[in-house]
Amino acid sequence: MSAAAEEVTADRVQLGIDGMTCSACATRLEKALTRATGVTSATVNFATEQADIRIAAGATDTNALADVVRKAGFTARQAAELDAGTSDERDEL
């Protein structure tokens, strides 16, 4: 099972986000993440291209969160990849 498919047991998930072109994109994604099952709060930063998501322990997994990001029109990447290379070199979730 990949790390992305493992159940999230922490109460905080960080994802890198690719594809945002303005602060309105960040706001739209933040609203979509906040409405997702198991998410208690979400903050998306356009400048750093990161989402900080608070979840109920074990309530969701990173694949489900990545699906929310994709449905909103963006690409999610794992927190371990946030500082590694350019977006072209990073793997999508």
Give the model confidence (pLDDT) of 42-88 as tens digits.
999 999 999 999 998 878 888 999 999 999 999 999 865 444 444 44
| Residue at token pair 């690719």 | 18
Rounded Cα distance, 49 and 82, in Å: 9
Is the per-residue pLDDT at 11 higher than 90?
no
Rounded Cα distance, 54 and 14, in Å: 9
pLDDT value of position 41: 95
